[in-house]
Structure 1
Amino acid sequence: MQEDIEYDVLTIQTPKRARWYTRLWPSCLGHGCSCRKRRGQQRKFPLYLIGYDPIGELQRAASVGDVTSIEQFMNSQEHHVDEHDTKHRTPLHYACAHNHPDVVKYLLSKKACIDVQDDEGCTPLMKATQRDNVECVSILLIAGANPHLMDLSGNTALHHAVSRGNTTIASKLLEYNANIEAKTECGLTPFKLALFEEKYQMAQFLKQNGAIAPLEVESY
């Protein structure tokens, strides 16, 4: 409980950098932007884990990968495949957040809504990306998940992959035509976000895959 309190009151301070993209920082504060890291300091709890403790029995089964129980719930007709909690998080969200590919496949076979968004605008694809769950990401993309959707802060799944520094997932998203120049509400493209979060290997990867680099940062 004490750790939760400390996390909730954590104050973010503007990083003191000379680079051009520091001008974007004030506009990100208070908007849940992916720009949430400063040099030498990280949040104690990843934002993408908050709220993903399941409450309903169907969500609990999805979060632990219990396909058998999910099948029983579906067969009983007492639950719907897109049944959601108060945060609009469906079993597919939970399966992707907790990395259970078999559950993802089963739910999709039952016509689960693949692009459903929770109260933060996150899709199952975004949740899988935030947790570095490559197999879940692949399953969703093959099944037709939309990589262009944005959460409430304007982040696409590619932005989340960049924030995680996961070039494997970023590559998969680009294979399915994710917009490499999509901008968040802060005005950050994936390339600019990579620089802002000091993910220079990711920035180079994006540039090699066609990202437009501003003249100020052509050396990256």
Structure 2
Amino acid sequence: MLEDIEYIAETSKTQKPARWYTRLWRACLCCGCLCNQKKKLQPCLTGYEPVGILQRAASTGDLYTLEQLINSNHFHIDECDRKNRTSLHYACAHNHVDVVTLLLDYDCSIDIQDDEGCTPLIKAAQEDNLGCICVLLWVGADPHLKDFSGHTALHHAVLRGNIATVEKLLEFNADIEAKTEYGLTPLQLAICENDYQMAEFLTSKGANAHSVDDLN
């Protein structure tokens, strides 16, 4: 846990005033975003193993250690690893909504991009982590940002076939006609993936059905 670092005994433990979204993840329980989810430690995602102690605490959902590290003044809230991933990236990748809200309460950067151009919102969409997506969007994460392949969080949600995530992103005005580096809109991407249920849903939400003709 903390045995590999030394703390200054006189470190201030002054309480920070709670922000309006500090316990937003609990509110998500009421609206169904986190229904039936049980808190448990998850194995690290392949290719997404944390290196720094701050990122490790975020990836395992260790709130106590994370807050102690932040308050020790030995670590910056937006400290990045060698792939430019912050603790918020790891919390979103591993679906720790309570860690996400804690980091946001300490004013972490919400739209920072890693070495693949992924924001925390995009990473949450890649892993179907709807609870994290809800919190990020409520606090102001930009759904229009693209990774270095031109994919927005909406494109990734379509690739995952996750209608609930797509609906939430559209609720926060994600661009339904955004194009990847190959010029594919979310609807065209759904057709390419033979996901006709997703295609029908996007069309019902206003996607340009005529754009499908461009695939032929």
Query: What TM-score, normalized to structure 2?
Result: 0.77
Q: Go from structure 1 to structure 2 and tell me whether the alpha carbon gap of 1:140 and 1:84 turns closer, same or farther (over 3 Å shift).
A: same
How many Å apart are 1:124 and its aligned residue? Answer: 0.3
| Pair 1:137 & 2:133 matched | yes
Q: Per-residue displacement from partner, 1:164-198 (whole Å, max 9, x unpaired)?
A: 00010100100110000000001100000001011
How far apart are the structure 2 equivalents of 1:92 and 1:110?
11
For the residues of structure 1 that align with 2:53 and 2:211, how far apart are their CA atoms? 53
C-alpha separation between the residues in 2 aligned to 1:170 and 1:208?
12
Identify the residue that residue 166 of structure 1 maps to in structure 2. Answer: 162
Which protein, 1 or 2, shows the higher relative CO under an 8 Å CA cutoff with sep ≥ 6? 1
> Which of 149, 172, 191 in structure 2 is aligned with 1:153?
149
1:101 aligns with 2:102: no
Deviations 1:90-124 (A, max 9, x none): 00000000000000000000001000000000000
Matches within 5 A, 1:52-131: 52-131=48-127
SS at match of 1:214: helix
> What residue is the counterpart of 1:188 in the other structure?
184
Identity %: 61
Query: How large is the Cα RMSD of the aligned pairs?
Result: 1.4
1:51, CA displacement in angstroms? 2.9
Structure 2 counterparts to residues 3-82 of structure 1, below 5 A: 49-82=45-78
- Contact 2:100–2:132 under 8 Å retained in 1: yes
Cα distance in 1 for residues equivalent to 2:125 and 2:53: 24
- Deviation track 1:118-157 (CA, whole Å, cap 9, x = no partner) reads 0000000011111111100000000000000000000000
| TM-score when normalising by structure 1 | 0.75
Deviation, 1:163, is 0.2
Cα 1:131–1:215 shift into 2, 3 Å: closer
Partner amino acid, structure 2, of 1:97: A
Aligned pair count reads: 170
Aligned to 1:179: 175
Deviations 1:6-36 (A, max 9, x none): xxxxxxxxxxxxxxxxxxxxxxxxxxxxxxx
Distance 1:141 1:203, change over 3 A: same
Structure 1: stretches of 5+ with no match in the other structure: 1-48
